Structure 1
Amino acid sequence: MSVCFETHGDCRYKFDILNGVRIPEQPCSWSDDFVIPGFRIDNWMSDKGLSSSLKQLPPILTSQLLEDLDLADYLLNPTCDQSADKYKTDHNHGWNSECATNVTLPDLPDSITCHLDNTCTGFSCCADIEFIDRNVNIFLTIDPCNYKLNIGIEKYQFEFFLMDFEFGIEKQFHIGKVIEVRFLINDLSTEQEYAISMTASVCLESNGTCQEFHILDRIRVPKPVCNWDKGFKIQDFSLSKYMSEKGLIQLNQMAVLDVLETLGVSSYLKSPSCDRYTAPFTVDNNGWSNGFESSWMTTQQFHVQNALCC
């Protein structure tokens, strides 16, 4: 931060507040209640002078309800469209599948339509919330070739690194306790498949009946065949060009982190990293630390460079 009293000239005061400081992301609490504790839709409608027998809110009051429940910022506009080509289901029980493999998909209720993409591991659903006359998009995509899992409710999205993901454990997330998704993924490594369960619910009362959508129930989908010869994530990447664009003479810690993130490497690296000067990497001979009494590793053919300890 700087304080300047002249348009052109040196500033009087300069303060360095943060310089490459790393701060942890705080974990989310999924036990939070409604943004309005004890919320009841009947009471809300009564306050608006509406009859509790009303089956569908007018658009202006739907907008007001979404604002009051802190949902509006997370929802897409326009909404997903069940009549769009992506969700046209013909006679497939609510599903439009582009998967070449014969995946057994469950029958869906009339209020929701879903799309299974051609990777066979990407699901997108468009659910009709009749009371508020609005559709909501829910999606889940597993990308084992890039070790990613993406899941979300419209703009409210999460990305997991598959190497750290806990398979076989049910997980859940929600927007203000109103729209909630529960999902369970099992990695069937021997069969080269995933088994997926996913349920969504919409609750307009903190303690009341919810609209449930049972989307997947232990549905088994094949893992795609990955191409392991794709090269750099950014084609023609040049470190010297990167440093020139950033105005760097040498890489500082923040620049190293940025390069690793840009190249898609950071997720695969351990933190803290290994230490060449502590056990078990303390060097005994030619770059090797020998953990047992034997002289066979001391021959010249096993010599490694100074930057490497084994």
Structure 2
Amino acid sequence: MAVERQFKVSLVLKVCFEAKNDSQCILSLDVLKDTLLPKSICDWVADFSTPNFDINQWFTTESINPNAVLNLVDREKLLNKLGISSYLSVNPCSFSSEMFSPANSQGWKNGKCILTIILTIFIKT
């Protein structure tokens, strides 16, 4: 399975007064049921997600010629193996956009994380 930038959360609120088990609680309410909540990806200094990865060993395991250009299927396998596929956008970057400019001498833009998290609110009917 590809790396996901989400947590799957279930949360039940129960009100129990001296109950011996959950069936004696006076209230049991599902607050969240298998709800996907986004993970923030602001920690850019985290270790590499696949330590000790050996690209040559991966080529051998997958029976891929290391001198060939990867096809789309093998490219996806490699990105998933490295745990980075979910960080790549379908649309290519524009380095002149506000997100990447101005950059320092190493090509990095230092500053606050600009990730915006939008949560969907579900109303129980």
Q: Per the shorter chain, which TM-score range?
A: 0.3 to 0.5
Larger radius of gyration: 1
TM-score by length of 2: 0.45
Which of structures 1 and 2 has the larger relative contact order (alpha carbons within 8 angstroms, sep 6+)? 2
